[in-house]
Amino acid sequence: MTYLAESWTVEERTRLSRYTSNQDAPVFALCNLPEATKAALFARYSRTSKSLRRLLLDEFLETGTEEPAAASAGASRASELFARVIGEFGDDSVAQLGGVHIACEQASQLLLKKIEWGRLMAYLEQSTRYIPYTDKPGGQFRYYRGPEILETGLQEEYQAAQDNLFELYSRSIQRLRDHLEQTIPQQENTAARTRAIRALALDIARSLLPIATVSNVGIYGSAQSLEQLVLRLRADSLPEAQRYAELINQELQRTMPDLVSRLDRPDRGGVWVQYLAGIREALAQARPDAPPALPEPPSVRLLSYDKDAEVRILTGALYPYGALSWPDLERHIRSLTSRQMDDLFLRAVGERRNRRHKPGRGFEECHYRFEIVSDYGAFRDLQRHRMLTIQWQEVNSSLGFTCPLEVIDAGLESEWRDAVGKSEVLHGALLEHNPLVAPYVLTLGHRIRYSMTLSAREAIHLIELRTSPQGHRSYRDIAREMYRQIRDVAGHRRLAAAMQFVDQEDIHLPRYASEARMQPLPATRELPFPPQN
C-alpha cells in the first residue's frame, strides 16, 4: 500500500509515542489521553487540513514545557473548544466522540430496566444464571431498601416478605439441583453436566427473586448517550431512578465535565427534564379508566406486519446496486415470477454459515409488532435487545405468576405459592400507600405485558439468538412462537426460510453443550449455598 507518510523530528516522534499507537501508519489509535481531549481532537479534526497527529502536537500539547501528565494532556484546549462548540452552538455530534465506562451497583431490577433503555450504549449486567443471590452482605439479603419504603409505614412487612422470598430461593436451589441430578440423563462429560445443572437450577430459581433484588451493571456510552441517561432518570417518577441520576452525573462531572456541561444548566438540562416529565405526567393522566385486565396465560401475538414484506425487502436489498428510483425498482420486483423472486431472495440472504451472518439492511424495510405476556425474567432478557422499539406496562399481580414445571416436580410448588401469595398481599397494600414502590415486592416470575416492534433483520437476529440451546426456556418459547407466527403469515415464507438457525428442539439441559466445550478456569470454585433448614 502506498501512502504519504509524515516526517517527524526526534522530539515530535518521542512525544507522539506517548499518545498514539504508532507514528507512521495511516491507521492508529489514541492512547493515554483524557476522553475530553480525544473528543476535542476529533471535533477540531473536521475543521482543519492537518493530520490528527499534527493537530495533537500543534494545538493540544504545549511546546517548550514539561510533558503533561496523561490525565491532563490537552485538557485546557479541549475545555476551551467544548465551551464554544457544545455550550454555545449545541453541536451534539461532538458529544458523541468521548465516552466513559460507568459501574452502577446495588440497583434494583426495576431501575436496571430504566438504565438499559438507551439504544446507543453497551451494558453488561450481573447474571442470575451464574451468580446465586444467597449471600448476605452486612447480614442482609440483597434487595432494595430505599427511604420511600419506610415512608409507607409497611417497612417491617416489606422486609419480612422479601426475606421470605430470599430464604426460600436459597433453599430451593439445592432442592432443584438434587431433583435435576436424578431426572436428567447422564452425559459423557460429567463435569460439564454438573455445571449445566447448576446453571439450570439457578435459571429456574430466579423466578422467586423479587424485583427489588439489587444487581450490578457496567455501562459504556458516549457523553451524549450518558447525558440522555441522566436526563431520563431525573425525569422519572421513581425515587431510586432520580437518586441514581445524580450519582451518575457526579461521576460524569468528574471524568468529562466539558462534554456534559449542559446537564446542570437550568436553561438546558433543566428545561429538558421538565419537558420529559411533562409528557410522562400528561400521558399518565390520560390513561383509560378501565377495569384491570383479566389474568391471561403467557402469550405472543403478532399484531401487525407489512403485507408486501418480501417486495419491500427485495427492493431495499437491490436498491444500492442499480440506478432505478425506488418506485421504478419496486415495480420491477413486482413484475418478477415466483421463481425469479425465490432466486433474488436467496441472493439477498447469502450463504449463511452461522447465526452471526446477518442479511443486509434491505431486511429493515419490513416490520412486525408483537404483544407479549411473559414472566418478568424473560422480559428482562428480551429488553436488552436495543435495535427495536420495546415498551412495557407496569408489572402487577393481575397477570399472575409463572411457576416453573421443575418446581412443581421437585415438590416446592406449595412453598413457592405461599411466599408469592404473601408478596401479592403486600403489593396490594403498597398500592394504597405508594404505587411507585409496589412493584418491588413482586418477583421475576410475575407476568408483565409489553410490545416489541422490530424489523425483519432484527427479528432474524433475536429469534435465532433467543432459541439457541443455551437460552432460558421462557424466552426460547417466546422466540419460537414469534418465528411460527411470522412463518404462517401469507407472503412471508421466504423470510421465514432465511431464519436458518432457529432451534426447535426441546433441550433438557440448556447449558450442557456450551459447558462441554469450555475448559473451566483453574482454581475456580462454586460459592457455598446455605444449608437447608
What pTM, to 2 d.p., does this model score?
0.85
State the average pLDDT for the chain. 87
Whether 381 shows a pLDDT value over 60: the answer reads: yes
Average pLDDT over residues 349-366: 95
Q: How confident is the model at residue 306 (pLDDT cuts 50, 70, 90)?
A: very high
Average pLDDT over residues 472-497: 93
Q: How confident is the model at residue 69 (pLDDT cuts 50, 70, 90)?
A: low
- Lowest mean pLDDT of 58-62, 88-92, 182-186, 328-332, name the range: 88-92
Query: Residue 214's beta-bridge partner residues?
Result: 108
- The total number of residues written for the chain in this structure: 533
The whole-number pLDDT of residue 530 equals 35
Q: H-helix or E-strand containing 312?
A: helix 309-318
- The Cβ of residue 465 has, within 10 Å, a number of other Cβ atoms equal to 15
pLDDT tens column, 85-124: 555 444 566 667 677 888 899 999 999 999 999 988 989 8
143 phi and psi angles, rounded to 5 deg:
-145, 160
Task: Identify the DSSP state of 267.
Answer: I
The whole-number pLDDT of residue 272 equals 93
> Measured between alpha carbons, how far is residue 44 from residues 48, 256, 338 in Å?
7, 17, 53
Whether 134 shows a pLDDT value over 80: the answer reads: yes
CA distance linking residue 90 with residue 75, whole number of Å: 20
Q: Who contacts 214 (Cβ-Cβ below 8 Å, separation ≥6)?
A: 105, 106, 107, 108, 142, 143, 144
Q: Who contacts 498 (Cβ-Cβ below 8 Å, separation ≥6)?
A: 345, 349, 352, 359, 363, 460
Helix, strand, coil abundance in the chain, percent, nearest 5 = 55, 10, 35
The per-residue DSSP string of 1-68 comes to ---------HHHHHHHHHHBS-SSSS---B-S--HHHHHHHHHHHTT-SS-HHHHIIIIIS-TTSPPP
- Lowest mean pLDDT of 212-221, 408-417, 497-506, name the range: 497-506
pLDDT tens column, 455-470: 999 999 999 999 998 8
Average pLDDT over residues 157-172: 97
The whole-number pLDDT of residue 295 equals 62
CA distance linking residue 269 with residue 230, whole number of Å: 9
The C-alpha cell at 146 is: 430505599
CA distance linking residue 360 with residue 316, whole number of Å: 9
The whole-number pLDDT of residue 75 equals 59
Which of residues 434 and 523 earns the better pLDDT score? 434
Whether 525 shows a pLDDT value over 70: the answer reads: no
Average pLDDT over residues 369-373: 96
Q: How confident is the model at residue 31 (pLDDT cuts 50, 70, 90)?
A: confident
The whole-number pLDDT of residue 531 equals 35
Whether 524 shows a pLDDT value over 60: the answer reads: no
pLDDT tens column, 172-203: 999 999 999 998 888 878 888 888 899 899 99
- The Cβ of residue 148 has, within 10 Å, a number of other Cβ atoms equal to 16
- Lowest mean pLDDT of 141-150, 218-227, 419-428, 436-445, name the range: 218-227
Burial class (CB in 10 A: 0-12, 13-18, 19+), 74: buried
Q: Where are the alpha helices (DSSP H) in 446-498?
A: 456-466, 473-487, 493-498
Q: How confident is the model at residue 63 (pLDDT cuts 50, 70, 90)?
A: low
> Measured between alpha carbons, how far is residue 197 from residues 237, 255, 460, 472, 497 in Å?
40, 43, 29, 13, 33
The C-alpha cell at 313 is: 425487502
Whether 475 shows a pLDDT value over 50: the answer reads: yes
Looking at the chain, the number of H-run helices and the number of E-run strands are 21, 7
The whole-number pLDDT of residue 213 equals 96
Q: How confident is the model at residue 521 (pLDDT cuts 50, 70, 90)?
A: very low
CA distance linking residue 393 with residue 385, whole number of Å: 17
Chain centroid offset of residue 351 CA:
29
pLDDT tens column, 253-289: 888 887 888 899 999 899 999 999 999 999 999 988 7
All structural domains of the chain, each given as residue ranges with its CATH number in brackets, are 10-97 (no CATH), 100-284+407-441 (3.30.1360), 299-395+447-517 (3.30.1360.170)
Q: How confident is the model at residue 4 (pLDDT cuts 50, 70, 90)?
A: confident
- The Cβ of residue 346 has, within 10 Å, a number of other Cβ atoms equal to 13
